[in-house]
Amino acid sequence: MRESIKIKTSDYNFKFRVSGLIIRNNKLLLVDMDNSGFLCLPGGYVELGETTKEAIVRELTEETGKKVIVKKYLGVAENYFINKYCKKVHEISFYYQMNFIDNNITENDFTLIENDKGHNIKLDFKWLDINNLDNFDVRPSFIKKIIVNKLEFNHLIFEDLENKQ
């Protein structure tokens, strides 16, 4: 088993992640992890020695239980935020547009339990109409901007820290 790329200090947590956008019939696949109260893109940590493309295929296959392929690299975002544990986070995440290999998958919401290195995580997947994303707490919030801009971006820096020093 390889190690995920993340660092914790007294001031910050650092994460190196990948996120996948799957859009079908004008609906975006989002996930609520362990009843967090907000929705995010499926994805996860890049493991040491793994490319971001390998990581996104592995993560989405693990999380959804379905085989996926990379359609297009979208960009990378540096995201600074405070997590649910009131800890400052510096995250670098690579974003990919993805497709399921099986075209017969429907846009029905579904729930799975993922065993992530010994921890069971409840994943509630939801298909949301991309025109109604403003009605939901989607994080990071710049995902809505990416959708509006027709998935075109190269590099974003997003800061959501109140007193970043």
Domain locations in the chain?
Answer: 6-160
Q: Are 21 and 97 in contact (CB under 8 A)?
A: yes
Calculate mean pLDDT across residues 13-17: 95
Q: Where are the beta strands (DSSP E) in the chain?
A: 6-8, 12-21, 23-24, 27-33, 43-45, 68-82, 88-100, 110-116, 119-129, 155-160
The CATH topology of domain 6-160 is Nucleoside Triphosphate Pyrophosphohydrolase (3.90.79)
Q: What's the confidence (pLDDT) of residue 127?
A: 96
Among the residue ranges 20-24, 91-95, 110-114, 143-147, the one predicted with the least confidence is 143-147
The more confidently predicted of residues 141 and 108 is 108
Whether the per-residue pLDDT at 165 is higher than 60: the answer is: no
User: pTM for the complete prediction?
Assistant: 0.87
The mean pLDDT of 75-99, rounded to a whole number, is 91
Question: How many percent of the chain have pLDDT more than 90?
Answer: 58
How many helices (H) and strands (E) the chain has is answered by 2, 10
